[in-house]
Amino acid sequence: MVSITKSQRVPWVALALSFLAAGVGHLYCGRIAKGLPMYFAWLLVPLGITIAALAPPSPTSFVLLVLLPVVVVFGVYLYAAIDAWRLADRIGPGYSLRDYNRARIYWLLIVVQLVFSTGLIAGVRGFVYEAFRIPTSSMSPTILPGDRILVRKLLTRDHVPNRGDLIVYRNPTPTGAANFIARVVAVSGDHLKIRGEQLFINGKELDRDRVPGERLKFVGNQVNGQVAVEENSLRRYLVAYGDSKDEHAQGDFEATIPVHHVFVLGDNRDRAKDSRHFGSIHVADIVGYVEYIYWPSESWSRFGVANDRLP
């Protein structure tokens, strides 16, 4: 005759196990078929973010592949904790122990999830997407002070930067922040000339269409001077110029961009420290490409793809 060991399921233990690793509280209550999908639900986040990095940036990709998995996983954790508590309370003292009802198995599952989730999150941050907070107005009106952005690091082997790309790159100077943000305006082999507020690439002045102030309410009071839509190699983006001058302002400039380098400017041309000050940037120093504003400092109409908001 087989002896069946009875044991009581304690609600607060089920709750604690679920908070440490979703689904473990259900294993504690003998619901392994329900607990395992919850246990692996956290994988939706790195999987969705990686797929988003491989797809062209769009509001749909951002919502479905980045935000939705985060919301789902958060919901799973809350549901798992509440449901495990209720299960344990309902089962009470008449529970028949299963082979997997061992403290060492619970702790093994918790440690494995902790180690793997920490490693995957670090991997996503290091090689797929990294979040940054922008402290200055050098990229206004495209990126405003206080904006929180996502920068894509996952690139193909044959990728080369293009004019109009919005990048984060390593600070080439010995002082200041570790990373800067700027706009690629010229690439390897281009001849660039800056004359006052005019910008010439390979002898052609970039077209600009001035934007009336009443159409710029979405940037709040973050931009002074004039704002225009600049077009560079069929890429359109906002620039500001004529802002009050500070120590970053520069006069006329002319350069030919070396091989494997790019020339970058801040979108706020009179308040940016950029290639006019320290020269072209080697492509190996590009950290990644700005794709999303996930927490705008001004109007939430700016939420989403970073370069899409044109008045």
Number of C-beta neighbours around residue 262 at 10 A: 28
Convert 17-54 to b/e letters by CB count within 10 Å (16 or more is b).
bbebbbbbbbbbbbbeebbeebbebbebbbebbbebbe
Position 310 in a domain: no
pLDDT per position as a tens digit, 46-67: 999 999 999 999 999 999 999 9
135/123 same-domain check: no
Query: What is the overall mean pLDDT for the chain?
Result: 90
Q: Which two tokens stand for residue 303?
A: 């939420």
Quick check: is 222 in a domain? yes
Instruction: Describe the chain by its helix, strand, coil percentages, rounded to 5.
Output: 35, 25, 40
User: Is a pLDDT exceeding 80 seen at residue 246?
Assistant: no
**Closest-CA residue to 189 (of 137, 289, 256):** 256
Tens digit of each residue's pLDDT (9 = 90 or more) over 13-41: 999 999 999 999 999 999 999 999 999 99
Q: Which residue has the tokens 């294993």?
A: 27
Last residue of a domain, one of 67, 94, 127: 127
pLDDT of residue 1: 38
Question: How many domains in the chain?
Answer: 2
Q: In this predicted structure, what is the pLDDT of residue 250?
A: 60
123 & 211 share domain: no
Looking at 93, 127, 161, the residue that finishes a domain is 127
184-194 per-position pLDDT tens digit: 999 999 999 99
Question: Is residue 109 located within the same domain as residue 137?
Answer: no
Mean pLDDT of 115-120: 94
Q: Work out the pLDDT band at 83, boundaries 50, 70, 90.
A: very high
Q: How far is CA 55 from CA 33, 48, 278, in A?
A: 33, 11, 33
Residue 311 lies in a domain: no
Whether 199 is covered by a domain: the verdict is yes
- Rounded to 5 degrees, φ, ψ at 260 are 65, 25
Contacts of 128 (CB under 8 A, 6+ apart): 46, 49, 50, 53, 152, 153, 154
Which tens digits make up the pLDDT trace of 124-159?
Answer: 999 999 999 999 889 989 999 999 999 999 987 778
Q: Give residue 212's pLDDT.
A: 86
Same domain? For 108 and 97 the reply is yes
Rg, the chain, Cα only: 26
Domain with 120 in it: 6-127
Q: Is the pLDDT of residue 290 over 50?
A: yes
Q: Which of 81, 97, 127 is the last residue of a domain?
A: 127
CA distance 78 to 194: 56
**Considering the entire predicted model, what is its pTM?**
0.87
Residues 140 and 112 in one domain: no
Mean pLDDT on 242-250 = 60
Is 34 part of a structural domain of the chain?
yes
Considering the domain architecture, whether residues 108 and 154 belong to the same structural domain is answered as no
CATH of the domain at 283: 2.10.109.10
